[in-house]
Structure 1
Amino acid sequence: MYQNGMEPSSGFEAISPRLHKLMRDMLEDFEFHQAPVTFEAVDDLYEQFDEDTLFLVRDGIINLCSNETSLLSCEEGDLIGISQSFHLPSPTLATDGYVELQPINRDDFLLHVYADKRRQHAWSHYLVTLNSLLTERLAAASKDQLKPTAGFLNFSAGETIIQQGDDADMVYTIISGNADIIVDGVSVGELGEDEVFGAMAVFTGEKRSASIIAITPCTVMAVPQKDFTILIEAQPQAAVNLIENLARRITMMNQQVLEQH
């Protein structure tokens, strides 16, 4: 997956291979029951297929288009049709060149994903990541948006990612780098790649309980509170994964307290 008509951000370049890895994890041992389909060109893929069909791009490029504008291009290894398969407002999927697609029945795919905890974890991460990719692309395309507040954000070592006491409007995931958890000026833990933070205040409606400071240069994925809440409601396993991460973090902090005493 890549951006059209603009220089790709460092976050975007880092995240495309991540999406492909998550997709490989989800499709491990999956049995394809339909033969691949090919097109020389197509104006709207879902004029020819039911909306309960997903597609894995095998070859060629297919574009996500809105109002005749191409937002993103999907290439080999990308999964397309997620929003269509859940009957949500969706961009048009089109191409003016050769493309080979592997149809995947939505229900078969979901049964496969939810049969394995590791695949469930990959699915929730895939959805959050894809949401942030689209958010960043739309923010970058907006002439009125000077600096995106959602999508992929870059921080230098020593920069504050979130500040203790601030209002909570985003949930974050570290894509690369490490960050310190600071409470009242004291370091109480460390965050690394793939860890989610900032969610607790979003759920409770309280102020940020800690500051997060970049230890190394960090690329961070930011998801708006509303979008994250919708994801949790639609994909309960994402909440389970988050609770497990929080439990590990609490255990780590308790161990630190014991060591200090």
Structure 2
Amino acid sequence: MHLPHKQSDLITDCAAHLREAGTELLSGLSPAGETTSFGVSHDLLGNGEKDRLWLITEGEAFYRVGGKQVTRHSAGDLIGLERELPVETGVYGCSEPVTLEPYHREEVMGQARFAHYLMYANAFYRASLAQEIRAEFQPSAGFMHFMAGETIIHQGSEAHQVYTLLEGKAHALRDGLKVGEINANEIFGALAVFTRQKRMASVVAVSDCTVLAVRKEEFADLVEMQPQICLGLVEELADKINQLNGQLLAQQAKG
């Protein structure tokens, strides 16, 4: 994915992670039908089935909001998901033939990695809209980098953002004691946003980390439009609790 004009680092990073996440999202899924070729169109998905998402296999498509071209999408990009995001919607078109492969929308949205994909997609479209159209879409966070040993979240601080760990590894510490691990592609920091409490633990980078930070207001908008995000986070939290219980039992057995 790329913008028609010079990209910011945020948009470039978002696009790269979004395509990678889209590939993982579709892995294991079967197409919902045969690939379809389209000619020149100013409303590429206007007559398409609403229960489909589309993977570009050949050619390029552009995305316009308010008549202004915001992004271009090429082979390997998943399109049609912007309806699930709390951003101003537009239309897809193409100035040359493009071939699309359909997937069932519900099947894609039911994948475990769907919450992560939405985080990347939200960051990408907001940054794109901010650069090309309206300043109010400008993200206040974005991609952040931490060296090993640096603190990503401080215990007791206010919860203003939700994070996704893109690269690296981090530990959750409460009062200096390790209470959990955070690995690549995990969302963290959401609990305090949901409960409106201060951070219950610190998160410290164990290795060099790259993190996507999303404002709590944007995250709340995502959850309102896609409540299944909560289910995915609860499942991840349950896994973490089970891991922690296993560690405690192992320590007790050694003692």
Whether TM exceeds 0.5 here: the answer is: yes
Deviations 1:129-178 (A, max 9, x none): 21122234455669989x95333222222222221111112221111111
Change (3 A) 1:53 1:148: closer
Q: CA RMSD in A?
A: 3.3
Q: Distance in 2 between matches of 1:215 and 1:174?
A: 12
1:130 maps to which residue? 121
User: Which of 229, 238, 259 does residue 229 from structure 2 map onto?
Assistant: 238
**Which amino acid in structure 1 is aligned with residue 115 of structure 2?**
S
**Which amino acid in structure 2 is aligned with residue 18 of structure 1?**
E
SS of residue matched to 1:2: coil
**Which amino acid in structure 2 is aligned with residue 66 of structure 1?**
V
1:92 maps to which residue? 91
User: Which of 145, 159, 178 does residue 187 from structure 1 map onto?
Assistant: 178
Change (3 A) 1:238 1:222: same
Change (3 A) 1:213 1:148: farther
**Which amino acid in structure 2 is aligned with residue 247 of structure 1?**
A
Report if the CA contact (8 A) 2:166-2:210 is conserved. yes
Report if the CA contact (8 A) 1:60-1:75 is conserved. yes
2:59 maps to which residue? 60
Measure how far apart 1:120 and its partner are.
Answer: 2.4
Change (3 A) 1:56 1:17: closer
SS of residue matched to 1:154: strand
User: Which of 13, 19, 22 does residue 20 from structure 1 map onto?
Assistant: 22
User: Which of 144, 152, 160 does residue 143 from structure 2 map onto?
Assistant: 152
Deviations 1:179-237 (A, max 9, x none): 12121223322211111111110111100111112222211122332333343344343
63-72 vs 134-143, which moves further? 134-143
Change (3 A) 1:229 1:60: same
Q: Distance in 2 between matches of 1:194 and 1:150?
A: 18
Correspondence 1:109 to 2:105: yes
1:253 maps to which residue? 244
Q: Please give the TM-score of this superposition, normalised by the length of structure 1.
A: 0.78
Q: Distance in 2 between matches of 1:187 and 1:217?
A: 18
Q: Distance in 1 between matches of 2:44 and 2:15?
A: 26
Measure how far apart 1:67 and its partner are.
Answer: 4.3
2:37 maps to which residue? 37
Change (3 A) 1:156 1:143: farther
SS of residue matched to 2:126: helix
Residue identity (%): 33
User: Which of 158, 177, 186 does residue 167 from structure 1 map onto?
Assistant: 158
Q: Distance in 1 between matches of 2:134 and 2:227?
A: 36
**Which amino acid in structure 1 is aligned with residue 212 of structure 2?**
M
**Which amino acid in structure 1 is aligned with residue 200 of structure 2?**
S
Q: Distance in 2 between matches of 1:196 and 1:223?
A: 11
